[in-house]
Chains A and B, each alone.
Chain A
Amino acid sequence: MKIITGNDLRTGDVIWWTGEGWSRHVNDAVEAGDHADAIIARENAKQIVTDTHVVDAEQTADGVRPAHIKERVRALGPTVRLDLSLKPADPDAGNWVI
């Protein structure tokens, strides 16, 4: 699947396109289909999101998994500081990245 990601312009937070808006959780990301360019153009014009781009991902039993390790690090947080990641309670969260 193709999903859309970017960063919140004001906070810098990593965000994913949910079909209606933006979420910090990659599992909320939806297939962008053939409209990715149009969605990106429209959202960029609102000047609330930056560095928008389309990434490859797959829908797995555990949720949405970006194809590239860099995007998985973005989706989780630093593997060396899981306390600051989106899964601070899961000591094995880093394994999802690799």
Chain B
Amino acid sequence: MVEQNLRFRSDEPVGDPAVTVDAFADQSNATAVRIEPGDDARALLPHLDRLALVEVNFPTYGDGRGYSAARILREHGYAGELRAVGDVLIDQLSHMRRCGFDSFAPDQPISAEAADKALATWPEVYQKTVDGRPAIWAKRHSA
């Protein structure tokens, strides 16, 4: 298991080792899985109820497939821990939170203070995603 560095959940962290997406399909007792950039997150959709931890690996910060993977899982109701792992930089935290990540295990540790500052960067957001924040258009037209 990867040592998590930042966590925005109050439940107990899962101790199980994360298995690959391929291995997960054959292991009915696994509760943690790790998505690599080329994996199709939709393969996990039938099993969301037994998952407690999904790690999404970012081997390089510029490979943005993990953002879609995270959002797809949340859009389909996954409520467990969603952890970004790897080349996760401070300037990406805000977007990652918006796509549903709620824990981070960056290769280079990020302090809680720096993370709080980064996450406070955007006072508003233009899009509705999976983080529950109302989009600007919703605020403009709230009764």
Contact between A and B in the complex (any CB pair below 8 Å): no
A residues neighboring B (CB under 8 Å): none
Give the interface of B toward A (CB within 8 A).
none
